[in-house]
Structure 1
Amino acid sequence: MILIVDDTPENLISLKKVLEKNNFEVDTASSGEEALKKVLKNEYVLIILDVQMPGMDGFEVAEAISGYSKARETAIIFLSAANTENKFITKGYSSGGLDYITKPVDMDILLLKVKTFYRIYEQSRKLIEIQKALLDEIEFRKQAERKKDEFISIASHELKTPLTSVKGYVQLLERSIEKGDVPTLKKHLVKAQIQLEKLNELITDLLDISKIESGKLKFNKQPFMIDALLDSVTEIIHQSNPEFKIIRTGTARKEICADEMRIEQVIINFLTNAIKYSPGTSEIHIKVEERGDHIYVGVKDFGIGIDADQQKNVFEKFYRVEETAIHFQGLGIGLYISAEIIRRHDGEVGVQSIPGEGSEFYFSIPLYSTSETD
């Protein structure tokens, strides 16, 4: 928008008419004081400012405008019927003006200058937008780099822990063999197997991340009953965590067409997380519902919960809730993989949580996914 400042109404009307005829949005002020009030309220691309005005003259107005941070970069063209000597023109530039036109105004020249300033303004705005986009992109690269470095550090630690344990149990096994202590031998074998299984799970997650990144995560979608899958998963989880009671409500009588192994992976991830982040509790709830042409599965715990501002991030790659990262092991990729699996089934994944009261992680998938089998 252009602001025309002139104490002569005829000048205001004629300039406004010409500029509006050329599709410029125009505002007017009949005094320096009125102009300053308008500059405080509105943003202008260009100010056409008369020099000779009662009260504040054009030079004083320009100097005042240059003190406003919002309007400091606004272009100013001075208009003057007198004071065309070099010293007055110089004063105009030193006051913050970018150009000087004498009266009577040649409208063709004025329009040419206005169009030039508008073109410069548009180019400057685009450059600022490009600069901001570049800065945002650089910051995103930096954040990604920090996340990657943190992940490598965590992954190294998480992989090293079961490896160190297995190495220790192998040494104990050697001693037990030498002593012929079969009961102790069996006990150490079981513990070594548990650590090897943890190691296998970590490696599987890392491989899944690689497949997701390269677009090679495969799916084999076949019809199956979700209730039968839940029976199997519940039994597996209960065997390794007998202290937890898993209560299921609801049922799904319809078959779904999905990758049973991948859906099982998601449910196991939800259940193991529910147990992991619920120290001191002994109950997990699974809710199953048919919702139109979708199946809803929710896993609710009564553990530590998640703050509202962190819930939106828990399905991001490598994200770990800061307060829990210190106390609980993990790579921070299980939920990301789960979310990708559900999305590739045209489904939705989410969490509802209250800090100190627990969380419910859930997913909803259509009975028949429209995505191609990968």
Structure 2
Amino acid sequence: MILIVDDTPENLISLKKVLERHNFEVDTASSGEEALKKVLKNAYVLIILDVQMPGMDGFEVAEAISGYSKAKETAIIFLSAANTGLNFITKGYSSGGLDYITKPVDMNILLLKVKTFYRIYEQSRKLIEIQSALLEEIEFRKKAERKKDEFISIASHELKTPLTSVKGYVQLLERSVEKGDIPTVKRHLQKAQQQLDKLNELIADLLDISKIESGKLKFNKKNFDLNILLDSIIEIIHQSNPEFRITKTGTVPQEVFADEMRIEQVIVNFLTNAIKYAPGTTEVHIHVAVDGDRVIVSVKDFGIGIQPDQQKNVFDKFYRVEETAIHFQGLGIGLYISAEIIRRHGGTVGVNSIFGEGSEFYFNIPLISMTESD
């Protein structure tokens, strides 16, 4: 938009009409004071400013405008009938003007200058947009590189921990075998097996990440009873966490068409997280329900919870909640893999959480899903 500032009404009207005939949006002000008020409220590409005005003259207005951060980049063209000397023109440029036109105004020249300034404005705006996009891309790539480095560090530590434990148990086994202490041998074998199972889970997660990234995560969909699957999962989780009481409510009155193994993977992830991030508690709730043509499964714990500003990121790849990263182990990819599995079933995942009181992770999928049917 263009602002014309002139204390002579005839000049305002004639300039406004000419510019509007050439499809420019035009605003007017009849004094310097009025112009400053409008500059504070509106954004202008160009200001055509008369020099000789009562009160504030054009130079004073230009100097004031240059002090506004919002308008300091606005182009100013001075108009003057009396002061056409070099010293006045120089003053115009030093006041913040980019051009100086003498009266009577040659409309063809004025239009040429206005079009030129508009073209410069559009080019500058595009350059700013490109610069902003490039900066965002750079920030994203730096951020991505930092996340990758953090993940490599975490993964190295997480993989090394069970390997070190297994090595220790093997050494203990050698001593126990030599002594013929069979009960101790069995106990060390069981603990070594637990560490190997953990290592296998970590490797499986890493392989799933690779498959997701390459688009090779496959699904074997079939009809199955989700109620039976949930009961089986609860029994298995309870055996390894006997101190936790896992209660299930709700039921699914018909079979679900999905990849049973992958849905089990998601529910197990939700349950193990619920137990992991709820130290000092002994209760987890699972609820299942049907809403229209979709089935909803939720897992609620009463643990540490998640800050509101962090909840939107928990399903991102490699994301680990800052308050918990030091206290709890993990690669930060379980929820990301779960979200991808559900998404490729045509479903959605989410979380409701109150910091310090607990979290409820949930997902929904169609009862009959034809998405990603391999």
Partner of 2:258: 258
Shift of 1:104: 1.1
Partner of 1:159: 159
Note the alpha carbon deviations across 1:40-64, whole angstroms, 9 max, x for none.
2211100001111122221121112
1:68-217 equivalence runs, <5 A:
68-217=68-217
Structure 2 residue 11 is the aligned partner of structure 1 residue 23: no
Structure 2 residue 28 is the aligned partner of structure 1 residue 33: no
Partner of 2:342: 342
SS of residue paired to 1:124: helix
1:54-73 equivalence runs, <5 A:
54-73=54-73
SS of residue paired to 1:111: helix
- What is the alpha-carbon root mean square deviation over aligned residues? 1.0
Structure 2 residue 341 is the aligned partner of structure 1 residue 368: no
SS of residue paired to 1:33: helix
Partner of 1:313: 313
Equivalent-residue separation in structure 2 for 1:171 and 1:252 (angstroms):
49
Note the alpha carbon deviations across 1:257-291, whole angstroms, 9 max, x for none.
11100000000001111111111221211101011
**Partners of 2:345 and 2:372 within 8 A in 1:** no
Shift of 1:298: 0.7
Partner of 2:293: 293
The one-letter code of the counterpart of 2:280 is G
Shift of 1:306: 1.2
Note the alpha carbon deviations across 1:328-358, whole angstroms, 9 max, x for none.
1111110010000000001011111112221
Shift of 1:166: 0.1
Shift of 1:323: 0.8
Moved beyond 6 Å, runs of 4+: none
The unaligned stretches of length 5 or more in structure 1 are none
Shift of 1:238: 1.3
Structure 2 residue 243 is the aligned partner of structure 1 residue 243: yes
Partner of 1:281: 281
The one-letter code of the counterpart of 2:34 is E
Q: TM-score, normalised by structure 2?
A: 0.98
SS of residue paired to 1:59: helix
Equivalent-residue separation in structure 2 for 1:113 and 1:369 (angstroms):
63
The one-letter code of the counterpart of 1:154 is I
The unaligned stretches of length 5 or more in structure 2 are none
The one-letter code of the counterpart of 1:36 is L
Equivalent-residue separation in structure 2 for 1:281 and 1:54 (angstroms):
78
The one-letter code of the counterpart of 2:306 is I
The one-letter code of the counterpart of 1:109 is I
Structure 2 residue 357 is the aligned partner of structure 1 residue 351: no
The one-letter code of the counterpart of 1:304 is I
SS of residue paired to 1:318: coil
Partner of 1:224: 224
Shift of 1:85: 2.0
**Partners of 2:226 and 2:252 within 8 A in 1:** yes
Equivalent-residue separation in structure 2 for 1:162 and 1:283 (angstroms):
28
The one-letter code of the counterpart of 2:328 is F
Partner of 1:8: 8
Partner of 2:271: 271
Shift of 1:174: 0.7
Shift of 1:302: 1.4
**Partners of 2:344 and 2:372 within 8 A in 1:** no
Note the alpha carbon deviations across 1:56-102, whole angstroms, 9 max, x for none.
22112111211211111110111111222222212211111111111
Equivalent-residue separation in structure 2 for 1:248 and 1:56 (angstroms):
78
Equivalent-residue separation in structure 1 for 2:242 and 2:9 (angstroms):
89
Partner of 1:53: 53
Equivalent-residue separation in structure 2 for 1:256 and 1:106 (angstroms):
78
Note the alpha carbon deviations across 1:247-266, whole angstroms, 9 max, x for none.
11111011111110000000
Note the alpha carbon deviations across 1:19-45, whole angstroms, 9 max, x for none.
111111111111112111211221110
The one-letter code of the counterpart of 2:63 is E
Note the alpha carbon deviations across 1:182-214, whole angstroms, 9 max, x for none.
111111000000000000000000110111111
In the alignment of these two chains, the number of paired residues is 374
SS of residue paired to 2:284: strand
Equivalent-residue separation in structure 2 for 1:299 and 1:64 (angstroms):
61
Shift of 1:361: 0.8
The one-letter code of the counterpart of 2:334 is G
Shift of 1:318: 0.7
Equivalent-residue separation in structure 1 for 2:156 and 2:89 (angstroms):
70
